[in-house]
Amino acid sequence: MPSLIRLIFALFLAIAPFAAQAHEYRLGDLQIDHPWTRATPPGAPVAGGYLAITNTGATPDRLVSASFSASGRVEIHEMKMEGDVMKMAELPGGLAIPPGATVKLEPGGLHLMFMELKEPLAEGAKIKAQLVFEKAGTIDVEFAVEKLGAKAQDHKAHGEHKAQ
Ligand SMILES: [Cu+2]
């Protein structure tokens, strides 16, 4: 039944790109790697968003804003010492992505702050978001929701389960 084989093959071609997806995105000179966030307990007002952005081009770019479908708005935050207390502060003017650099947003450092969460984030969900860059433009991405309390290290050791 060659037509059935053809159909199966077509289905395979349609599904394969998703199965092989390493959860990275390309927008012009920018490579966006593994956007993720953490599951939130009921009633949590905010969540952090993490990803890495690599500028493979020769000109600087800038992450100017973002939106997240499960939150009212998104701020771009850095960690700053205020006296001897580490605090989060909004980065006015966005986040510079210098040519040749990889800028990492991760727990304890730079991050996106999903403000006014509309609903708790459930582990395993994929949440639609948009990132807006000054030069490269706008890209649709999905943030993978990892377990409550997941750390950046949990990521580097994908699949490796360590005792706490
Ligand atoms: Cu923050």
Q: For 118-156, write each residue's pLDDT tens digit.
A: 999 999 999 999 999 999 999 999 999 999 888 765 554
Cα–Cα distance between 28 and 52 in angstroms, integer?
Answer: 15
What pTM did the predictor assign?
Answer: 0.79
Cα–Cα distance between 103 and 153 in angstroms, integer?
Answer: 17
Question: What does the pLDDT read at residue 1?
Answer: 54
Q: What spacing in Å lies between the alpha carbon of 3 and ligand 1's midpoint?
A: 54
Instruction: List the structure tokens of 83.
Output: 């006296």
Q: Under a CB-based contact definition with an 8 Å cutoff, are residues 50 and 35 in contact?
A: yes
- How far CA 11 is from CA of 2, 7, 18, 20, in Å, comes to 14, 6, 12, 14
With a pLDDT cut of 70, the percent of the chain lying above it is 79
Q: What spacing in Å lies between the alpha carbon of 95 and ligand 1's midpoint?
A: 14
Query: How many distinct helices (H) and strands (E) make up the chain?
Result: 2, 11
Q: What spacing in Å lies between the alpha carbon of 98 and ligand 1's midpoint?
A: 22
Count of beta carbons in the 10 Å neighbourhood of residue 16 = 10
Q: What spacing in Å lies between the alpha carbon of 12 and ligand 1's midpoint?
A: 42
Q: Under a CB-based contact definition with an 8 Å cutoff, are residues 161 and 52 in contact?
A: no
Question: What does the pLDDT read at residue 20?
Answer: 40
Of residues 163 and 81, more confidence is placed in 81
Q: Under a CB-based contact definition with an 8 Å cutoff, are residues 95 and 103 in contact?
A: yes
Tell me how long the chain is.
164
Q: What spacing in Å lies between the alpha carbon of 129 and ligand 1's midpoint?
A: 17
Q: For 9-51, write each residue's pLDDT tens digit.
A: 565 555 444 444 458 999 999 999 999 999 999 999 999 999 9
With a pLDDT cut of 90, the percent of the chain lying above it is 73
With a cut of 50, say whether residue 93 has pLDDT above it. Answer: yes
Q: What spacing in Å lies between the alpha carbon of 11 and ligand 1's midpoint?
A: 42
Please provide residue 42's backbone torsions phi and psi, each rounded to the nearest 5 degrees: -55, 135
Q: Under a CB-based contact definition with an 8 Å cutoff, are residues 26 and 141 in contact?
A: no
Residue 54's closest CA among 23, 31, 24, 29?
A: 31
Mean pLDDT within 49-54? 98
